[in-house]
Amino acid sequence: MMNMLETTPFGATSTTDDVLSGVNLKGKRILVTGVSAGLGVETARSLVARGAQVVGAARDLNKATAATAQVRTDAAGNGGSFEVIELDLANLKSVRACADALLAKGQPFDVVIANAGVMATPFGHTADGFETQFGTNHLGHFVLINRIASLIRNGGRLINLSSAGHRYSNVDVDDPNFERTPYEPFVAYGRSKTANILFAVAFDKRHRDRGVRAAAVHPGGIRTELGRYAEPGRIEKVIEEINRQLAGQGQGPFQWKSVPQGAATSVWAAVVAPASEIGGQYCENCHVGHIVPDDAPISVVTEGVRGYALDPKNAEALWKKSEELVGESF
């Protein structure tokens, strides 16, 4: 893993190619979940283009194969490799089968990038009866990663994709499935994205003795398939509100990021940033995020992470609840 921070200041507009310029990943094995669209595809492509061996996980293998044609081309041309495995995060039977298959192969990973996710879905449940977003975005990854933790090499990393959307809500360990709380798609999304950060905090604590560090990243606002479940007009309304807040602060309007800009923070945290700097942290725009007050505006543009998302006690409570829900101890 290279430390290029001194020579290359990256930021919100940096792309994967900027961040990985001059980086050689030959011999590195990296698992990326969610390689059938958007950020996952670009993350995989940018890594294989530097010689990495990438295993991509996806629910729909046909869709993933079609979406990753360029990934295979870039792998072939640069000494990297790419293969796809089946993983449905909304079904723990599939999650466990995927983990078992990886364990049976026994090939270690230098980095795991938990990239897959859903956003603002209508109220529903996973195959195991969990609220869709919490079950898919958090519990599916919680089981997969803990089951394959022994495959992460000493000195390796776990990168969880979170979002500035974590500011919509803290986790609710007393009512994770909205049995007593009115369901609101973005509140549920916020809970699941806070859970992604807290999982990184707790995983980092458990594995840092062997040099394995975990971090959460916010990719930025990108037009990807992620928004496909949101009610028509909902995302536009969010953007309007953001632009009102920005105008009030004397700033220009919100700018969408390109997919290569969105995936830059994932690969920066995965293979470029010093492990000691990002371990147990929330990263955005290719740097470690600072803590903002819990009552700061929800505006998903201003940088920063809510304190509750990095709180070690909160992380332990979520870990314990997650073990209860999935019926496994890690």
Ordered strands of the 152-161 beta sheet: 81-86, 53-58, 29-33, 109-114, 152-161, 213-218, 282-284, 287-288
Rounded CA-CA distance 89/301 in Å is: 28
**Distance separating alpha carbons of residues 64 and 171, to the nearest angstrom:** 31
One DSSP character per residue, 249-304 reads: TT-PPP-PBPHHHHTHHHHIIIIIS-HHHHTT-EEETTEEPPEE-TTS---SSS--
At 298, list the tokens. 């929800």
Cα 204 to Cα 94, 105, 222: the distances in Å are 25, 25, 27
Q: Can you tell me the distance from the alpha carbon of 185 to that of 178, in angstroms, rounded to the nearest whole number? A: 11
- Is 282 tagged catalytic? no
Q: Which of 193, 266, 299, 308 is catalytic?
A: 193
Q: Which of 14, 28, 169, 189 is catalytic?
A: 189
Q: How many angstroms separate the CA atoms of 78 and 83, rounded?
A: 15
Cα–Cα dist 246/255, whole Å: 11
Indicate if 308 belongs to the active site.
no
Nearest to 180 by CA among 172, 169, 170: 172
* Whether 189 is catalytic: yes
What is the token pair recorded at 32?
Answer: 């990326």
Residue 197, amino acid: I
Q: Which H or E element spans position 218?
A: strand 213-218
The answer to whether the Cα torsion of 163, 3, 311, 91 is positive or negative is positive
Q: How does DSSP classify residue 241?
A: H
Tokens of 205: 């604590």
State residue 81 phi and psi, 5-degree precision: -145, 155
| Catalytic, out of 36, 162, 163, 266 | 162
Active site residues: 162, 189, 193
